[in-house]
Structure 1
Amino acid sequence: MSYKIIVDSCGELTEEMKASGCFATASLEIQVDDYHIIDDETFDQEDFLKKVAASPNCPKSSCPSPETYMEGFNCEAEHVYAVTLSAELSGSYNSAVLGKNLYHEEYGDKDIYIFNSRSASVGETLIAQKIVECEKAGMTFPEVINAVEEYIRGQHTYFVLESLETLRKNGRLTGLKAIAATVLNIKPVMGATLKGEICQLSQARGVNKALQKMAGFIAEDIKDSEHKTLAISHCNCPDRALSVKKMLEEKMKLKDIIILDTRGISSMYANDGGIIVVV
């Protein structure tokens, strides 16, 4: 069976995924003051971070339209999947569902399924890779859905950011207790709940200590790690990502570790220096 996977642009794609011909991106959009940025292959992270640093305002994002998803579903592939960032954090999932409904109204029946990642960034990457694994194994469409949904339920997301201001100002930290004062250089260790909501796991003074705590949580939480692929995304800090990789390798055995630079939406929320880990 032929298949296509649409990943919204919060999810990073590896070079292998880009070259496979099986993937498409549904681009979110970002507004920084008067600058309108489409989160596609034209995204310039360096320029974006400069604009954010120079602006007194918080950047805003908007999700792909239902029509964008509908157009993506209109293809020759027999099985079509979409992977979106957590429905608790964005309207991308609901937009994809509406796009699916529009497609069915316009063109009729087709095997289309929308996965709510309950994560973001490389969490979406790993889910997309799981879909490919299932399709290559010859699973039926319902079998792929069941296997990937089970994988999502077992996925863990962690992150340490230099600043939580963008998340806070855009209402993504609703319900969390107040974070310790930035002047104390306290860095929270954050994660995602099973529902895809952001939660605070711990905190430490300084980024390095926070990253070490995060690595400890990961090693403690993940069972049968030798059979799992772990993904790290970083916002403009490759050396920091490599340091986290080393921390994890010292604590646990993993099937594979992939490292990717954040795309536009993940760069917006992670900010310069942010690290996201999903396994």
Structure 2
Amino acid sequence: MSYKIVIDSCGELTEELKNDRHFESVPLEIFVDDYHIVDDETFDQAEFLKQVAASPNCPKSTCPSPERYMEAFDCDAKHVYGVTLSSQLSGSYNSAELGKKLYLEEKGDKKIYIFDSKSASVGETLVGMKIQEYEEAGLAFEEVIEKVEAFIAEKNTSFVLETLETLRKNGRLSNIKAFVANTLNIKPVMAGSSEGTIYQIGQARGITKAVDKMIKDMVSKTVNSKEKILAIAHCNCPERAKAVVDKIRKMAEFKKIIVVETAGISSMYASDGGIIMVV
């Protein structure tokens, strides 16, 4: 095998990618009080959302250990790439970098590079797909890195949340602000910055109007959409995701649109009913 792509579990893999031997998902872990979840194929979204709704506390997560990354890097591939969720949101990137250092110290020379996706969820998925596209095209290791870093710098991540409860529990919103937003049905439209942080780009009354605002913003920012893949992740709202796809197709033409269901970490961030879009 000439290359391998190791993605932390915040990046949802499509069924096709799950069956592709070039990809490996390294799981994070989640704790809701005494309820412990490994974010892998055993993740039960319905049970997780039930536990989150019942708990007054915010769910916590832990990133994969450097040793777990090191284990994933230990393979016969000549080129190994790690893809992690934003280093501004998690320690996963630093853990992967340490895993790389440990591997090189203990196992010898290998070409390994860790990408900070500066995103999350399907943003990571798109980074992994870009790596594969360039590897399959026969580009050199250094060229793949250069082109994928350029892709990361220009991609757009945005999302709309059905509920602000997780943000409130996390201390990111005051109880009053969360109460007012929930009472008035105000839904924030959020985006990822070029540094990988989260900021608000707008808001609307009602989830439908907020999603429409997010779609218009994304389409207006996307150049040469016919050459790009749009990725959508949804947390327990397949009909909403389908409606988003239908609206987008009336406004712009994309090379491909992929839709996945959020896994554990993305479900924790997006909460029940959340929609994430990356292009």
Provide the TM-score with structure 2 as the length reference.
0.96
Q: Map of 1:136-215 to 2, 5 A cutoff?
A: 136-170=136-170, 181-215=181-215
Aligned equivalents of 1:180 and 1:256: distance in 2? 39
**Corresponding residue number in structure 1 for 2:39:** 39
Paired residue secondary structure (1:211): helix
Q: In 2 relative to 1, CA 253–210 (structure 1 residues): closer, same or farther, beyond 3 Å?
A: same
Which stretches of structure 1, 4 residues or longer, exceed 4 Å deviation after superposition?
177-180
Task: Say if 1:5 and 1:82, in contact at 8 Å, map to a contact too.
Answer: yes
Aligned equivalents of 1:2 and 1:156: distance in 2? 30
Q: In 2 relative to 1, CA 182–72 (structure 1 residues): closer, same or farther, beyond 3 Å?
A: same
1:49 and 2:32 are equivalent in the alignment:
no
1:115 and 2:115 are equivalent in the alignment:
yes
Aligned equivalents of 2:171 and 2:141: distance in 1? 36
**How big is the shift at 1:90?**
0.4
1:91 and 2:98 are equivalent in the alignment:
no
Q: Which amino acid aligns with 2:7?
A: V
Task: Say if 1:186 and 1:205, in contact at 8 Å, map to a contact too.
Answer: yes
**Corresponding residue number in structure 2 for 1:68:** 68
Paired residue secondary structure (1:37): strand
Aligned equivalents of 1:32 and 1:244: distance in 2? 30
Structure 2 segments unaligned to the other structure (5+ residues): none
Q: How many residues align?
A: 277
Aligned equivalents of 2:167 and 2:256: distance in 1? 30
**How big is the shift at 1:118?**
0.4
Structure 1 segments unaligned to the other structure (5+ residues): none
1:132 and 2:122 are equivalent in the alignment:
no
**How big is the shift at 1:172?**
6.5
Q: Which amino acid aligns with 1:142?
A: E
Aligned equivalents of 1:127 and 1:155: distance in 2? 10
Aligned equivalents of 1:179 and 1:84: distance in 2? 33
Task: Say if 2:165 and 2:178, in contact at 8 Å, map to a contact too.
Answer: no
Percent identity over the alignment is: 63
1:80 and 2:70 are equivalent in the alignment:
no
Q: Which amino acid aligns with 1:42?
A: T
Paired residue secondary structure (1:88): coil
**How big is the shift at 1:247?**
1.2
Task: Say if 1:186 and 1:203, in contact at 8 Å, map to a contact too.
Answer: yes
Name whichever of 163-172 and 190-199 sits farther off: 163-172
Q: Which amino acid aligns with 1:259?
A: V
Aligned equivalents of 2:239 and 2:26: distance in 1? 29
**Corresponding residue number in structure 2 for 1:12:** 12
**Corresponding residue number in structure 1 for 2:59:** 59
Superposed CA RMSD:
1.7
Q: Which amino acid aligns with 2:266?
A: S
Q: In 2 relative to 1, CA 149–172 (structure 1 residues): closer, same or farther, beyond 3 Å?
A: farther
